[in-house]
Amino acid sequence: TNDEENAGTVKKQLSKLFEQSLRITVPSESDVEPLIAACAPKFGDYQCNNAMGLWSRIKNKKDNGFKGPPSIGKVIMENLPPTEMIEKCTLAGPGFVNIKLSTSWIAKNIQKMLIIGIETWAPRLPIKRAVVDFSSPNIAKEMHVGHLRSTIIGDTLARMLEFSNVDVLRRNHVGDWGTQFGMLIEFLFEKFPNWEDASGQAIGDLQEFYKASKKRFDEDPAFKGRAQQAVVRLQGGETSYRRAWAQICEISRNEFNNVYQRLGVQLEEKGESFYNPYIPGVIEQLSNQGLVEESQGARVIHIEGVNIPLIVVKSDGGYNYASTDMAAIWYRLNEEKAEWIIYVTDVGQQQHFEMVFSAAKLAGWLPANDNMYPKASHVGFGLVLGEDGKRFRTRNTEVVRLVDLLDEAKNRSKSVLIERGKAAEWTEQELEHTAEAVGYGAVKYADLKNNRLTNYTFNFDQMLNDKGNTAVYLLYAHARICSIIRKSGKDIDELKKTGVLALDHDDERGLGLHLLQFSEVVEEACTNLLPNVLCEYLYNLSENFTKFYSNCQVVGSAEETSRLLLCEATAVVMRKCFHLLGITPVYKI
């Protein structure tokens, strides 16, 4: 159908047209893919860059029919099928074909989105199911800013994939199966013989408890011996040990949930313990394939090009982080049928994951070619720094409690709202809601707007600034657009159906084109796993809107209806960006 043909990003639709032209223009080079890219406004909207490459392929062929890249570009233009999408093409420089889209086609697409909904602009990805493994803190240990970054970045990636109609399994791969549990359980038994009646109350602060039991472990060899025994009894499934373990996990889980709840992040816990029963079978399979070798008592997989082997069974016969990850990747590919597995951790774990992926390729679970599915990707990120340029900590080098950090962001934004007199204007509920949206949104956006691989400096004043590239600025911009529409007194839903959107002014057209590019930006952010691409788009969108709004009168102008529709479209796209970034939009500010 016509709708099917018109589906996909602008870039994809142009690619289809140019592909048809390329096949007629140079039939001999039928494997050449169209090269279409957005370009600087002075050249046009998009560019087709195939002429130069084609020329170097055919210039030595006799009677190729062309004099050089420009002559190829010219014929590419002539052979384009008729389309309402393009207004005109022009030839530039050494053979670039500059493309100017039809303005009415842009306007029509935006109006269609307004009527049917932004879902029509969801990118299409070549996969149905993905696993995003993110957050993943360790039980009884500190959940630190690295886990916060993983939570924020992972949630955004999951949201973008979900928007693109991918079934996403959001996995919290918590560290709930380490040897630390022997020590913790033994300490629990020793200090609180009635631990089971106290249902978690005995332990109190789990991190303090962890420290105290570690101290005992290091100081008393007899205790250490019992702790090591306890691990064996836990792993053997002895009831009281399993119960104590479950109780400790539950305390941690409640703490993690305090963070997730504030951030509005959904996760399904499948911790290390979940994969434990699968490890022996997976290792047997790998051994049968001849991939596992003996090395200094341990059992390892050698990976070409890496100087250390992947240890899958320790010399004491126990399993480790890598054994679990081998079982997990096996499970996700073979049982859960994931076509893309995405792991979000700090860059420090990059080598670990590369080795796990290589081992999975050797086993034939993943194709050797990284451009094929199923595939696995490690999404690494840099450190969070304090203002002193060192690893982020609060005073006294104490660890930062994430809940306190988030609460501070919220309280600071609440104070600003109160200073601006909002306590008198709004209900307490509105005040709370806005303070949360702004505070948590600021923390998320400050993280996401950077290329994730770089370290970034955590700074409340900067992220809560209402000017510059911050969530606060963007939330304000959105609220202002909503208020323009509200104050016009027009029924926007009615206008969508009866009004006509036109983009006659240059700044209207510029904004309209930017809106239409939303889809390819989300696609790029998904494909390259780079949320900052979407942040940059959102910021530019708000800049484009400002330009339009300062040069084009909306309310009371002859173009009022059309311009209100453009305002509404901007607000819809901004809200979808917020949604994908995990930020709650506000309507009044």
Site mask for ligand ARG (CB under 6 A), range 84-113, x = bound: ------------------------------
Tokens of 389: 């340029």
Of positions 13, 21, 136, 156, contacts ligand ARG by CB under 6 A: 136
Cα–Cα dist 245/243, whole Å:
5
Give buried/exposed letters for 4-25 (b at 16+ CB in 10 A, else e): eebebbbbbbbbbbbeebbeeb
Residues 484-513 that bind ligand ARG (CB under 6 A): none
Pairing, β 340-346 against β 129-133: parallel
Stretch that binds ligand ARG, among 133-141, 226-234, 432-440, 571-579 (CB under 6 A): 133-141
Cα–Cα dist 473/475, whole Å:
6
Find the shortest distance in angstroms from Cβ 485 to ligand ARG.
Answer: 44
Of positions 176, 325, 523, 568, contacts ligand ARG by CB under 6 A: 325
Helix (H, G, I), strand (E, B) or coil at 491: coil
Are 206 and 250 contacting, i.e. CB atoms less than 8 angstroms apart? no
| Residue 21 vs 150, nearer CB to ligand ARG | 150
Work out whether 269 is an interface residue with ligand ARG (CB under 6 A).
no
Find the shortest distance in angstroms from Cβ 324 to ligand ARG.
Answer: 7
How much of the chain is in helix, strand and coil states, percent to nearest 5? 55, 10, 35
Chain residue whose CB lies nearest ligand ARG: 136
Site mask for ligand ARG (CB under 6 A), range 327-366, x = bound: -x--------------x-x---------------------
Site mask for ligand ARG (CB under 6 A), range 406-445, x = bound: ----------------------------------------
Closest by CA to 119, choosing from 578, 518, 542, 539, is 518
Find the shortest distance in angstroms from Cβ 137 to ligand ARG.
Answer: 6
| Residue 13 vs 345, nearer CB to ligand ARG | 345
Find the shortest distance in angstroms from Cβ 143 to ligand ARG.
Answer: 9
Are 439 and 410 contacting, i.e. CB atoms less than 8 angstroms apart? yes
The per-residue DSSP string of 454-475 comes to S-EE--HHHHT-SSSSSHHHHH
What's the count of helices (H) and strands (E) in the chain, helices before strands? 24, 14
Cα–Cα dist 286/301, whole Å:
9
Are 114 and 154 contacting, i.e. CB atoms less than 8 angstroms apart? no
Work out whether 138 is an interface residue with ligand ARG (CB under 6 A).
yes
Work out whether 175 is an interface residue with ligand ARG (CB under 6 A).
yes
| Residue 345 vs 358, nearer CB to ligand ARG | 345
- Torsion over CA: 485, 490, 493, 495 (sign): negative
| Residue 339 vs 466, nearer CB to ligand ARG | 339
| Residue 266 vs 551, nearer CB to ligand ARG | 266
Stretch that binds ligand ARG, among 136-144, 236-244, 261-269, 278-286 (CB under 6 A): 136-144
Find the shortest distance in angstroms from Cβ 262 to ligand ARG.
Answer: 20
CA angle 520, 566, 100 (to 5 degrees): 50
Site of interaction with ligand ARG (CB under 6 A): 133, 136-138, 173, 175, 325, 328, 343, 345
